[in-house]
Homo-oligomer: A and B are copies of this chain.
């Protein structure tokens, strides 16, 4: 097995991979398997490549991105095999690995699509079937982008839309916001990366470090690896529904301060992959901790519309920080939002914004300049963001349908969140925290000793072994917990709650049957 070869060829494996203290995934990826095969090939060919493994950016070599990792590659292969008529124990692959709502048959919001098609094809503005409010907004937006969505915009985005973002934030938080502090970006990932790179600078002779939760969304680990910033992982507390313990934050800070200079902290709320919604008190503690250590706060709040649990409420970091007053209210904070999640799920359009407050003005000048070389983010993504922060209001022609569609999506997600958690908690050896928000469940699974041994025999992390077995037997594609990070000796996986209710029910049934067999086989 090629997966084994890599571990046997330990020397090569260790070059491909750097194990940091917060490194967690042990499985080898299909990428690295491929590398071995092609490495042999290229050596055989004895080609003098200008760009080769030895002189390739070392940070690119070590970075990983589990959400699109080997299991997803295998899932895509299986899809193609099914299309070619192959016989499998299942007749479809369910990609529960990625928060891609429309791919899971969620219907786009009519208002958003009407607006976008009208700005692209202004003849539609005169079409009688286009609602009046859509017409008016399309006209206003076209004017704001100089008549065509084909024009470049300001690098930070269209001013009118940034002003609408401000109104949205002010309404949400009850505190003032400034349009100059809003940057539109090509999805939250783009915004996060552009800000993270500002921190590449040693401090007091130590490399920069950034605190990220474990488990975390692997955009962070991948981007930090690529930028050469040290990842300072702090564990979320599974026992308190993935809350942040200040003691754990202090421990991680203390321990890692010996080898790097922690400069910022990332908090994902609602949580990905963990689905928790932080309480206001917990946010206050995090802010106080960050203030004590003079950390820049990255608040990943892209799931702010996705809150389902009774009693849970989304509190933005900005609001809490403003409520706390000085010195907290002048702390440096960036909050990220996206078009890809929420009730709209417009992942493919690549829209997002970041609000950056209390940034050193000199730094901000350089930040804006650094963004300008990429010219601007996609205008369609920007206008999608406008549709989200500036939706139809009561009295608008589109209001009723918009509210109906929006509510239907969020209600259904709420239902599915509960459905997934209830099912998992009824499985032997599963323990799943409530999905208070976001769109994922991250259950802990206890695996029989024999399964752990079987995984070891394949040089796989036990949860990777489990996920591959699940995929090959049911067509259900999940992401092993090791791709997000987890406490050593524990096993998890992330699944989205996105399949439509009937399909989700079927998926959970397949899952139950598989799990029973798996436990039975390895007990």
Name A187-222 residues within 8 Å CB distance of B. 187, 189-190, 193, 197-201, 203, 218-219, 222
Contact A362 B47 (CB under 8 A): no
A219 to B201, CA, bound (A): 23
- Taking a contact as CB atoms closer than 8 A, the residue among B59, B150, B361, B374 that contacts A189 in the complex is B374
Name the segment of A61-69, A172-180, A241-249 touching the other chain: A61-69
Q: Does A136 reach chain B (CB closer than 8 Å)? A: no
Q: How far is the CB of A210 from chain B (nearest CB, A)?
A: 11
Q: Does A263 reach chain B (CB closer than 8 Å)? A: yes
Give A226-268 as 1s and 0s: 1 = Cβ < 8 Å from B's Cβ atoms.
1000000000000000000000000000000000000110000
Q: Does A511 reach chain B (CB closer than 8 Å)? A: no
A-B pairs with lowest CB-CB distance, top 4: A38-B361, A348-B379, A117-B121, A102-B148
A376 to B68, CA, bound (A): 11
Contact B51 A374 (CB under 8 A): no
Most B C-beta atoms less than 10 A away, residue of A47, A150, A189: A150
Contact B360 A57 (CB under 8 A): no
Contact B370 A152 (CB under 8 A): no
A147 to B241, CA, bound (A): 36
Q: A31-B365, A152-B347 are in contact. List 14 more A-B contacts (CB 8 A).
A: A31-B368, A42-B361, A50-B263, A51-B263, A53-B362, A55-B203, A56-B201, A63-B370, A117-B121, A149-B348, A218-B373, A226-B373, A349-B379, A350-B376
Known A-B contacts A47-B360, A330-B47; the reply to A146 vs B102 at CB < 8 A is yes
Which residues of B lie under 8 Å from residue A350 when comparing CB positions? 186, 376-379
Q: Which residue of chain B is the closest to A34 with respect to CB atoms?
A: B365
Most B C-beta atoms less than 10 A away, residue of A59, A101, A294, A372: A372
Q: Which residue of chain B is the closest to A263 with respect to CB atoms?
A: B50
Q: How far is the CB of A178 from chain B (nearest CB, A)?
A: 15
Contact B102 A147 (CB under 8 A): yes
Name the segment of A108-116, A396-404, A464-472, A473-481 touching the other chain: A108-116
Give A118-160 as 1s and 0s: 1 = Cβ < 8 Å from B's Cβ atoms.
1011001000000000000000000001111111110100000
B-binding residues in A (CB < 8 A):
29, 31-32, 34-35, 38-39, 41-42, 47-53, 55-61, 63-65, 68, 98, 100-103, 105, 108, 113-114, 116-118, 120-121, 124, 145-153, 155, 186-187, 189-190, 193, 197-201, 203, 218-219, 222-223, 226, 263-264, 294-296, 330, 332, 344-350, 359-370, 372-381
* 21 A-B pairs (CB sep. < 8 Å): A35-B365, A42-B361, A42-B362, A47-B360, A49-B363, A51-B332, A51-B363, A53-B360, A59-B200, A68-B155, A68-B373, A103-B151, A108-B150, A116-B117, A124-B124, A186-B350, A193-B374, A223-B373, A348-B378, A349-B380, A350-B377
A384 to B159, CA, bound (A): 25
Q: How far is the CB of A268 from chain B (nearest CB, A)?
A: 16
Which residues of B lie under 8 Å from residue A65 when comparing CB positions? 369, 372-373
A374 to B42, CA, bound (A): 28
A152 to B121, CA, bound (A): 23
Q: How far is the CB of A235 from chain B (nearest CB, A)?
A: 23
Which residues of B lie under 8 Å from residue A193 when comparing CB positions? 374
- Taking a contact as CB atoms closer than 8 A, the residue among B47, B56, B201, B345 that contacts A55 in the complex is B201
Contact A150 B349 (CB under 8 A): yes
Known A-B contacts A68-B372, A378-B349; the reply to A363 vs B53 at CB < 8 A is yes
Known A-B contacts A189-B375, A366-B61; the reply to A51 vs B348 at CB < 8 A is no
Which residues of B lie under 8 Å from residue A379 when comparing CB positions? 348-350
Q: Which residue of chain B is the closest to A344 with respect to CB atoms?
A: B150
- Taking a contact as CB atoms closer than 8 A, the residue among B105, B155, B295, B380 that contacts A50 in the complex is B295
Which residues of B lie under 8 Å from residue A32 when comparing CB positions? 365
Most B C-beta atoms less than 10 A away, residue of A102, A117, A151, A369: A369
Which residues of B lie under 8 Å from residue A345 when comparing CB positions? 150
Contact A100 B152 (CB under 8 A): yes
Q: Which residue of chain B is the closest to A372 with respect to CB atoms?
A: B68
Which residues of B lie under 8 Å from residue A124 when comparing CB positions? 117, 124
Q: Which residue of chain B is the closest to A227 with respect to CB atoms?
A: B57
Which residues of B lie under 8 Å from residue A348 when comparing CB positions? 145, 148-153, 376, 378-380
Q: How far is the CB of A195 from chain B (nearest CB, A)?
A: 9
Q: Which residue of chain B is the closest to A197 with respect to CB atoms?
A: B57
Contact B198 A56 (CB under 8 A): yes
Contact B198 A366 (CB under 8 A): no
Q: Which residue of chain B is the closest to A105 with respect to CB atoms?
A: B147
Q: How far is the CB of A277 from chain B (nearest CB, A)?
A: 24
Q: Which residue of chain B is the closest to A63 with respect to CB atoms?
A: B370
Q: Which residue of chain B is the closest to A350 with respect to CB atoms?
A: B378
